[in-house]
Amino acid sequence: MKHTIGILGGMGPAATADMLEKFVYLRDATCDQQHIPLIVSSIPDIPDRTACLLSGGPSPYHYLERYLHMLEEAGAECIVIPCNTAHYWFEDLRAVAKAEMISILDATLGEIPPSVKRVGLLATNATLATGLYQKKATAQGLTLIPPEDTGQEQVMQAIYALKSGNKPAAEKLLLPQIERLISRGAQRIIMGCTEIPLIVSGHEDVADCRFIDSTASLVRAAIRWYESRSDTQTALVPEQFAHA
């Protein structure tokens, strides 16, 4: 199969499964053969990205590089990574990759309408501390609004609650922070951690503004990559999983 996309996942497994589902539902296919060819790596031994960047924990880089090359050897021509914080190592990985790579940061920011200038950002402590979104957003003329200190603590607790399988606890922690971002002027809210769409699912109406789902943004960009190289193009499903 030509133009196969590799998913470098496992960070965490639920977020990887969510991406796989979005590849199915965001592709407007009428038969099996029109779906996107995917090779999925969901090996969860990659060290915690936030612990590495903020607490001196083991680096995930060599794991990421190993699984990237594994996907390439299996036939992947393009690599996507359903983890925002892992994009701290994106340029280093792209430098050693033979396959093309698509950035979740660029894909997500690219879906913000030109009329929107104030955007809330829900992400890990490490994504915020390393400025992954802030640097690109500033260049785009955007003002990013992260949660306040105690609110960010609850966002992190929500992310880890979801990773541990406790979605009710994650919802209780996260949903008030969404309302707080809106009260502070957010016109859109970036779900800048791939666990967050799983927490928000079923509660999209909690926001008076719309969400930008980073997983869905990356999937749409990957589908466009595939279609630009494929003889037969099939339209994206509009709005499905988008909230953007």
Q: Which residues are catalytic?
A: 83, 193
Burial letters for 89-100: b for 16+ Cβ neighbours within 10 Å, e otherwise?
bbeebeeebebe
What is the rounded CA–CA span in Å between residue 177 and residue 155?
Answer: 7
Find out whether 52 and 88 touch, Cβ atoms under 8 Å: no
Strand, coil or helix: 71: helix
154 within 8 A of 220, measured Cβ to Cβ:
no
With tokens 């296919």, the residue in question is 29
Question: How do the residues of the chain divide into helix, strand and coil, expressed in percent and rounded to 5?
Answer: 50, 15, 35
15 contact partners, CB below 8 Å, separation of at least 6: 9, 82, 83, 194, 195, 198, 215
In what side-by-side order are the strands of the sheet with 100-101?
38-41, 5-8, 78-80, 100-101
